[in-house]
């Protein structure tokens, strides 16, 4: 539901008298926090119980929503977003584990399909609900909106049936804090390095931050080789197919994020769409993901989760290329179909990929497995936010300097980025297919 906050960006900028670029820290503070802590929280859930961690996350999120909504200054709001990021890491790290451990292992794929479908449904509802809340409460409405939802979830938690994992939960005394802390630091520093690439500062800053992140990651790897209970099982570190399927997730979400990131600018600047119409077009992607989540279950059961994941990635690739062609040709109906197809591919991929990771990792690491899917997704999104916007700006500049008018130059840049990203993904798929074919099917 945090997509609702995107609707409030202009209002928040005006309320705190900010320069437009300053609003990016509202995203960075939140994303860096939950992305860096996700695996650590999932590992904690594997030790003390996923329901406990999930509950703690709901309580913290409830408090964070109130803190955000009542923030008297932008600095206060950013601090509250960090608290919200911690709550999100606690909740989302253990949510997939709860979804699978509530049911028999034979129903794992169906449970993940339902979970992904509800995730996509939230993407449809969030912008609409956020806009409605803002009309009543102003920018703070996008935070007040979710406080009662967190409270309702807390009240409903006792109704969950007992989890199948109860006898596999380990003691907190065996939890090694050093590994998760080093991993959280490495992920946060590396994502911060990517984020600063687009900032108006010297490129040396991003390089130095990136080197610090690589160094921290090396320390984490060294510590894990000596740990009695590493965050990821040693077999996963040495498994090329496992590495490739996670790399594929990062690449798929990198390409997929181009739709909510770039398409609104095209619809506004070139298509002349209003806010409601833009929201309706972008909403086709999560609507497609809803459909894809349902299709993924029979596809994964028939062909295997890895083949289903690759099929979903290929559909995302085709959808991206079709969006680029539609933008270039200015064919609105084809664009709508392409966005819907793009979402279907993403829905299929997400369910199949999550099912594959959950099946590959040991049963006692369900929290880590669910967290890993969120980390790869976030890595792709953060990287896309920097790389895709930079690519559009560079291509548009080249067209403008060659004498192309502003609108055609921008459309050509968007088309090139969508087509290029989709094509690169399609080229990488055969390599991924060869790598994962060496592993037993999930």
User: Is 21 domain-assigned?
Assistant: yes
Residue 182 CB partners (closer than 8 Å, separation 6+): 216, 219, 220, 223
Give the 3-state secondary structure of 294-328.
HHHHHHHHHHCHHHHHHHHHHHHHHHHHHHHHHHH
Model confidence at 442, pLDDT cuts 50, 70, 90, reads very low
Q: What is the pTM of this model?
A: 0.80
Angstrom distance (rounded) from CA 28 to CA 382? 9
Q: What is the pLDDT of residue 119?
A: 81
**Number of independent structural domains in the chain:** 3
State the distance between the two ends of the chain, measured CA to CA, in whole angstroms: 31
Q: Give 418-435 pLDDT, tens digit per residue.
A: 999 999 999 887 776 676
Q: Is residue 364 part of a domain?
A: yes
Tell me the Cα Rg of the chain.
Answer: 21
Using alpha carbons, select from 131, 121, 224, 112 the residue that is nearest to residue 179.
224
Q: With respect to residue 114, please indicate whether it lies within any of the assigned structural domains.
A: yes
Of 205 and 318, the structure prediction assigns the larger pLDDT to 318
Q: Is the domain of 148 the same as that of 216?
A: no
Indicate if 211 and 270 belong to the same structural domain: no
Pull the structure tokens for residue 216: 């921290």
Task: Answer yes or no: are the C-beta atoms of 316 and 342 closer than 8 Å.
Answer: yes
In whole angstroms, what is the distance from residue 376 CA to residue 442 CA? 19
If asked whether residues 284 and 360 sit together in one domain, one would say yes
Tell whether the model's pLDDT for residue 55 goes beyond 60: yes
Q: Are residues 218 and 205 in the same domain?
A: yes
Cβ atoms within 10 Å, residue 231: 23
The reply to whether 203 falls in a domain is yes
Q: Are residues 89 and 35 both part of a single domain?
A: yes
- Kindly state whether residues 205 and 237 are assigned to the same domain: no
pLDDT of residue 84: 96
Co-location of 318 and 376 in the same domain: yes
Domain boundary among 228, 247, 262: 228
Q: Is residue 321 part of a domain?
A: yes
Are the C-beta atoms of 333 and 68 separated by less than 8 Å? no
Q: Are residues 191 and 152 in the same domain?
A: no
Say whether both 134 and 253 belong to one domain: no
- Dist CA 254 CA 387 (whole Å): 9
Condensed to tens digits (0 to 9), the pLDDT of residues 38-50 reads: 888 888 888 888 8
pLDDT at 163 > cutoff 60: yes
Report the pLDDT value the prediction gives residue 72, as an integer from 0 to 100. 93
CA neighbor of 109 nearest in space, from 368, 346, 298: 298
- Of 128, 156, 184, the residue at which a domain comes to its end is 156
143 & 256 share domain? no
Whether residue 224 sits in one domain with residue 245:
no
Q: How far apart are CA 52 and CA 246, in angstroms?
A: 27
Asked if 254 and 221 sit in the same domain, the reply is no
Evaluate whether residue 255 is within a structural domain.
yes
Asked if residue 171 is part of any domain, the answer here is no
* Inside any domain, residue 269: yes
Residue 440 belongs to what domain range? 233-442
CATH number of the CATH domain containing 59 = 1.20.1250.20
Spatial CA neighbour of 321 closest among 309, 335, 311: 335
């Amino acid at each position: 539901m945090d997509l609702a906050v995107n609707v409030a960006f202009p209002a928040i900028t005006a309320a705190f008298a900010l320069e437009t670029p300053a609003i990016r820290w509202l995203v960075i503070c939140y994303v860096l926090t939950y992305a860096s802590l996700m695996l650590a929280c999932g590992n904690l859930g594997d030790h003390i119980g996923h329901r406990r961690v999930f509950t703690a996350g709901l309580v913290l999120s409830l408090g964070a929503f109130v803190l955000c909504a009542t923030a008297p200054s932008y600095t206060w709001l950013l601090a509250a977003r960090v608290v919200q990021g911690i709550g999100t890491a606690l909740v989302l790290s253990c949510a997939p584990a709860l979804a699978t451990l509530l049911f028999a292992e034979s129903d794992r794929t169906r449970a993940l399909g339902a979970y992904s479908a509800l995730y996509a449904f939230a993407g449809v509802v969030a912008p609409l609900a956020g806009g409605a809340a803002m009309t009543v409460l102003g920018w703070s409405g996008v935070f007040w909106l979710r406080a009662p939802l967190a409270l309702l979830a807390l009240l409903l938690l006792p109704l969950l049936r007992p989890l199948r994992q109860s006898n596999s939960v380990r003691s907190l005394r065996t939890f090694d804090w050093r590994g998760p802390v080093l991993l959280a630091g490495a992920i946060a520093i590396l994502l911060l390095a990517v984020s600063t690439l687009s900032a108006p500062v010297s490129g040396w800053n991003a390089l130095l931050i990136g080197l610090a992140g690589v160094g921290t990651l090396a320390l984490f790897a060294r510590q894990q080789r000596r740990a009695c209970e590493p965050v990821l099982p040693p077999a996963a570190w040495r498994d090329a197919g496992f590495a490739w399927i996670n790399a594929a997730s990062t690449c798929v979400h990198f390409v997929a994020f181009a739709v909510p990131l770039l398409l609104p600018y095209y619809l506004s600047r070139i298509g002349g769409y209003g806010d409601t119409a833009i929201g309706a077009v972008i909403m086709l992607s999560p609507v497609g993901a809803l459909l894809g989540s349902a299709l993924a279950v029979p596809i994964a059961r028939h062909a295997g989760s890895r083949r289903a994941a690759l099929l979903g990635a290929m559909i995302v690739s085709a959808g991206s290329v079709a969006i680029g062609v539609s933008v270039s040709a200015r064919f609105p109906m084809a664009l709508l179909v392409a966005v819907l197809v793009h979402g279907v591919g993403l829905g299929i991929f997400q369910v199949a990929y999550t099912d594959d990771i959950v099946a590959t990792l040991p049963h006692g690491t369900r929290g880590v497995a669910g967290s890993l899917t969120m980390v790869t997704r976030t890595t792709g999104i953060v990287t896309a936010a920097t790389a895709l916007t930079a690519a559009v700006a560079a291509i548009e500049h080249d067209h403008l300097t060659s004498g192309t008018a502003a609108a055609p130059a921008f459309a050509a840049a968007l088309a090139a980025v969508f087509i290029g990203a989709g094509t690169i993904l399609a080229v990488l798929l055969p390599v991924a297919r060869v790598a994962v074919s060496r592993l037993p099917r999930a």
